[in-house]
């Protein structure tokens, strides 16, 4: 299950723990392909937040998002790593595991 993020809940949701945020758009083919992998990670206990950059462009701009999908991994409210583009499950797991 994903947590839908917006301007009001973003800081509160990403403030504690290890949180992966997917910055996406509804028109992005790669974002749609990435979703099933993110669902699998979420079903296996990883917290995944999704921010629709069409609806919340100011948040995307604040974090310097220019391509989709883009990801920011927050650890206790601070950016641990940031990356963009389609990633396989093993690539995402490697990035997450490096910060556990």
Write down the pLDDT at residue 10. 97
Annotated catalytic residue within 3, 18, 25, 28: 28
Annotated active-site residue 53? The verdict is no
pTM of the model: 0.94
Average pLDDT, 10 consecutive residues per value, the chain (100 residues): 93 96 97 96 94 96 96 97 96 91
Annotated active-site residue 28? The verdict is yes
Instruction: List residues bridging with 23 in a β-sheet.
Output: 51, 70
Domain ranges of the chain: 3-97
Topology classification of domain 3-97: Glutaredoxin (3.40.30)
Residues with Cβ within 8 Å of 16's Cβ and at least 6 positions away in sequence, in order, are 76, 77
């Amino acid at each position: 299950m994903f947590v839908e993020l917006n301007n009001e809940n973003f800081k509160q949701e990403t403030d504690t723990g290890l949180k992966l945020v997917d910055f996406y758009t509804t028109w992005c083919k790669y974002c749609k392909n990435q979703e099933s992998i993110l669902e699998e990670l979420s079903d296996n206990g990883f917290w995944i937040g999704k921010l629709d950059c069409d609806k919340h462009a100011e948040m995307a701009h604040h974090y310097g998002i220019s391509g989709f999908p883009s990801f920011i991994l927050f650890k206790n409210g601070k950016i641990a790593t940031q990356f963009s583009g389609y990633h396989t499950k093993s690539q995402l797991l490697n990035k997450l595991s490096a910060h556990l």
